[in-house]
Amino acid sequence: MGKVYLVGAGPGDPDLITVKGLRCIQEADVILYDRLVNKKLLEHAKAGADLIYCGKLPNYHTLKQETINSFLVKFAKKGKVVTRLKGGDPFIFGRGGEEAEALVKNGVSFEVVPGITSGVAAPAYAGIPVTHRDYSASFAVVTGHRKDAEEEEIRWESLSKGVDTLAIYMGVRNLPYICEKLLSHGKSPDTPIALIHWGTCENQRTVTGTLSTIVEIVQREKVENPSMIIIGEVVKLHDKLSWFQKSAQPYYSYAKEAY
């Protein structure tokens, strides 16, 4: 019997992989990797390792989740060391919990290797701290979409009134809906908001506005996925603390081609 490692590859910059995550790539017989994993990381795979692309686009999946689960079980039962390489962190909107459940059900040994999640890393690279003594004592990570045909599960009233900073994943398509829900539950129209496109990569781009203006700005600037949405007073620090584009080193030049 082999073993499966559920590994977080980080938010895009390949230097943000953990030491243990890199070792799991180097030692794997099989690597199943997602769309947002920087392909530069795959260069660390050993000779002869099988690399299987499991990328998912909005409304289009190369492999269904059930197929990915079955591959993890199949290869492990063949005695392989399997690394499931996922963008960000495997347990933060990465469906890593579902994969772990499938492994337990089939008696397969596994480990979880946490990764740096884009909800913290992307704003950090944009000069936006998700917490700050003067602006934010709390933050929440929120999905920007829900399962098809399911009732609304997001508690917008609690998020609007009880959390200082929101980090919203996969929400560009639903941005008008998100803004409308927050406004209707008491969030000020002047609340600052930022969208960070390709966070931590060389081609990172940040646009800012308020809840009342951001939809028009995003449409005008043609901001698309993958983008993190950050909402809260901490966004005001973007102009002052933005450091990444000013100091990025030449080795980031590969990032644009790596996807």
Query: Domain with 94 in it: what CATH number?
Result: 3.40.1010.10
Is position 254 within any domain?
no
Domain containing 182: what range? 119-245
Domain end call among 70, 95, 116: 116
The confidence score (pLDDT) of residue 246 equals 66
Angle between the N-to-C axes of helices 65-77 and 96-105, in degrees from 0 to 180, rounded to the nearest 10: 50
If you average pLDDT over every residue of the chain, what do you get? 92
**Does position 150 have pLDDT exceeding 90, yes or no?**
no
- Do 13 and 49 fall within a single domain? yes
The count of structural domains within the chain is 2
How confident is the model at residue 57, as a pLDDT? 61
| Residues belonging to the active site | 34, 56, 170
Could you tell me the sign of the dihedral formed by the alpha carbons of 156, 158, 162, 163, in that order? negative
In this structure, the answer to whether residues 104 and 128 fall within a common structural domain is: no
List, in order, residues 6 or more apart from 61 with CB less than 8 Å away: none
One domain, residues 157 and 235: yes
User: Which pTM value belongs to this model?
Assistant: 0.90
**Does 54 share its domain with 172?**
no
Q: Are residues 109 and 90 in the same domain?
A: yes
Q: Tell me, what's the pLDDT at 149?
A: 46
